[in-house]
Amino acid sequence: MRVVLLTKLEGGIQRGVDQAILRILKEKDMDLVGVVVERTIHGPFIPFVRNKVRRYIRIYGLWGFWRILTKALEISSKFWQSKLGQIVDRTNRAQEEKNKRYRSFTELRKDIDFPLFFTKNIHSDESLSLIQQLQPDLIVVYGHRILKRPIFEIPREGAINLHHGKVPYYRGGPPCFWELYHQEKTVGVTVHYIDAGLDTGDIILQKEIPIDTCDTLESLRDKIYPLGVEMLVQAINLIKEGKVRAVPQDRSKGKTYSAPTIKQEAHLRKILKERQQLKGIS
């Protein structure tokens, strides 16, 4: 089966995309004929930065924007320290290798070769032509924006999406945030067909894992991302073997979520702190 994977850059390779690529490449009778990555090419630098700052402040609030900025500076500092030849303890190196997460496609391609393409706009005529030339049997979407019909109707088997949430109840994102916010007992992962909506296509696979009292956003994401990759490969195999029994979503249920406000982030921190105190965790 000829597979094309679509994703987009978010400061670097999105979490889990590297593992999805590696798993697909290992599968028998799966031919990854292309990874198409959408990256935004910006105009003049100062207007771009100004608009970005305004947008993040509007979405996250001033305090939330400051947290994002300080985290970015921290990551940048660590990057340049490594570039200047910072020595890493051998034990730490071994642990990092065991749980390796690639930060860029350049880094990933140093370890394994695969066809990689970049585009400014996935819906451009050039991108449409590229995907048609790759002749995919199936398009796999990982962390991309809503696709338009001319793209997802190219493959004979259609297109599927990996969503880190239980649809229809938790469409959109971010992963695990709203489940913790609403104090759910489980968090879900879904692989579904793509249609014109946001996370509204027929469900191929769906699994849930329990939310423990001591779970945080990071600990839950550590659980769902590997699970999602395995489910994605399982779904591709089901499609290849003609064994899919897709289930339509009840669109009258659930809702579509977006990025939380700074107040909602603060409320979640309060919830998690109270849960940990009940568990006896300081």
Tokens standing for residue 15: 């979490």
Give yes or no for a contact between 260 and 181, defined as CB atoms under 8 angstroms apart: yes
- When pLDDT is averaged across residues 52-80 and rounded to a whole number, the result is 65
All structural domains of the chain with their residue ranges: 1-41+104-157
Question: Does position 249 have pLDDT exceeding 80, yes or no?
Answer: yes
pLDDT of residue 87: 41
* pLDDT-based confidence at residue 61 (cuts at 50, 70, 90): low
Tokens standing for residue 33: 């004929």
Domain 1-41+104-157 has CATH 3.40.50.170: yes
What CA–CA distance (Å, rounded) separates 152 from 118?
A: 18
pLDDT of residue 135: 97
Strand order, beta sheet including 203-210: 116-119, 31-38, 2-8, 138-142, 159-163, 186-193, 203-210
The torsion defined by the Cα of 61, 65, 38 and 48, in degrees rounded to 10, comes to 90
**Residues 4-28: tens digit of each pLDDT:** 999 999 878 999 999 999 999 999 8
pLDDT of residue 98: 44
- When pLDDT is averaged across residues 86-110 and rounded to a whole number, the result is 64
- More reliable by pLDDT, 259 or 203: 203
pLDDT of residue 93: 44
What CA–CA distance (Å, rounded) separates 119 from 272?
A: 40
* pLDDT-based confidence at residue 73 (cuts at 50, 70, 90): confident
Percent of the chain topping pLDDT 90: 64
Tokens standing for residue 28: 């028998």
- More reliable by pLDDT, 210 or 66: 210
Question: Does position 282 have pLDDT exceeding 70, yes or no?
Answer: no
Sorted by sequence, the CB contacts under 8 Å of residue 279 that are 6+ apart come out as 213, 214
What CA–CA distance (Å, rounded) separates 251 from 267?
A: 28
- More reliable by pLDDT, 35 or 76: 35
Choose the weakest-confidence range: 33-47, 106-120, 204-218, 260-274.
33-47
- Kindly report the average pLDDT of the chain as a whole number: 86
